[in-house]
Amino acid sequence: MTMPGPEEAFADTARVILELRGRGIGDLRLLEAIEEILRPAFAPERWAAAAASGEAVPLACGQSMNPVVDIATILDAARIQADYQVLLLGLGSGYSSAVAARLCASVTAGDRFRTLVAEASASLASQSIANVTCVQLDALSSESLPAGVFQVDRIVAFGAFPSLELPAFVTSALAPNGMMVAPVALAKGGILARFSRSGTGSPNYEILCPFYTQAFVPGLAREL
């Protein structure tokens, strides 16, 4: 499947932006970033048209590119400012990191699959996005957290945690008054939650909305 032509790409982008506005996404910086980033550049070529339309897209390693509406919902809830340092869990194709990078000073983004880390790094470089560092990490273990990734202003997750009791190393990476937005797979259904840290205490959380996405799997992938 070939890349959409300019007119088709423009129409797809317009539809995506209208859908996001209709769902209550009103952050102009976020909408502009989504409008400017070429989503098909982060998708397998045969799925370029689906990527342009904002749909979920299959990736290597049995993973998927989240729908644009899911990415926008998470980033909108995170309230990212231009001078923030962001830790992103669930790198995937690199598209969500590209959008986040337009909103903040720097992004450290990780995935358990080396293959996805390499492909996302190449896609980001092809779009001249230089403020994203891609690393292999396990979102459920402190052992793979890159050195120096502490006291970040925001953490955004694109995989679901198994409980509202987040791993201590994740919340300890938040700066005082930092915030994290993450899906959580509860027994009664998936939700999106926002965790806020006041001072140096433990974070409080609020449940934002129902939300369903792939759950994080423990461990670094050994072969992929």
| Average pLDDT score over residue span 13-17 | 83
At 57, the pLDDT band (50, 70, 90 cuts) reads confident
pLDDT of residue 147: 63
pTM: 0.89
Asked if the structure places residue 1 within a domain, the reply is no
Is residue 1 over pLDDT 50? no
pLDDT at 69: 92
SS (H, E, C) the chain: CCCCCHHHHHHHHHHHHHHHHHCCCCCHHHHHHHHHCCHHHHCCHHHHHHHHCCCCEECHHHCEECCHHHHHHHHHHHCCCCCCEEEEECCCCCHHHHHHHCCCCEEEEEECCHHHHHHHHHHHHHCCCCCEEEEECCCCCHHHCCCCCCCEEEEEECCEECCCCCCHHHHHCEEEEEEEEEEEEECCEEEEEEEECCCCCCCEEEEEEECCCCECCCCCCCCC
Q: Decide if 63 is inside a domain.
A: yes
* Position 60 confidence tier, pLDDT thresholds 50, 70, 90: confident
Name the one residue in this structure whose structure tokens are 């461990």. 219
Instruction: Give the pLDDT score at 144.
Output: 63
The residue assigned the tokens 């959008």 is 99
Q: What is the pLDDT of residues 96-153, one digit of tens each?
A: 999 999 999 999 999 999 999 999 999 999 999 999 999 998 888 866 666 666 789 9
Q: What is the mean pLDDT of the chain?
A: 87
pLDDT tens per residue across span 142-190: 666 666 667 899 999 999 999 998 887 777 788 888 999 999 999 889 9
The answer to whether residue 128 sits within a structural domain is yes
* pLDDT confidence bin for 199, thresholds 50/70/90: low
pLDDT at 30 over 60: yes
The number of distinct structural domains making up the chain is 1
Residue 147 in any domain: the answer is: yes
* 224 occurs within a structural domain: no
Greater pLDDT, 13 or 179: 179
Side-chain-side CA neighbours of 2 within 13 Å: the count stands at 4
In a domain, residue 93? The reply is yes
- The CATH number of whichever domain residue 193 belongs to comes to 3.40.50.150
Region 61-86: mean pLDDT is: 93
* pLDDT above 90 (res 209): yes
Domain hosting residue 139, numbered range: 56-210
Is there a domain that residue 219 lies in? no
Q: Does the residue 47 lie in any domain? A: no
- What share of the chain has pLDDT > 90, as a percent? 51
